[in-house]
Amino acid sequence: MRAALLVGIAGAIGAVSRVSIGEISFGFGNFPFATFTVNMVGTFFLCFLSAGFIQRLRLNHDLQTALTTGFLGSFTTFSAFSMETVNLFQNDAILIALMYIASSIVGGFLFGSIGMKLARKAGRE
């Protein structure tokens, strides 16, 4: 029960953080930069933490779950990515939709890889 409560609290903080970034973000045309930004930042931190750095923080398992599943799970958003992509296609912004899909996939791998490499490097120091 404690883990679920912590995940809920962290999830609320992650969701509010995500909305805040959406409100202050800038945009170029129809490209959904807010969702792209939170997904790349969230991917980086999830991979960074999952590559072993979270154990260095010496958090108990419930707090680790709250941080990863709760905060980062609600901060990032696959459903918004999907909805925005569908909307772009429906509004005949095909090129932007394809760029969004490609940049999200490539960016996710890139940010995830960087996060893992930095965590492993930090673990050796």
CA pair distance 104, 124, nearest whole angstrom: 30
Distance (Å, whole) CA 81 – CA 28: 17
**Ranges of H-type helices in 1-125:** 2-24, 33-48, 54-56, 61-65, 73-75, 78-90, 94-124
76 labelled ligand-binding = yes
List the binding residues for Na(+): 73, 76
**Residue ranges at the known binding site:** 73, 76
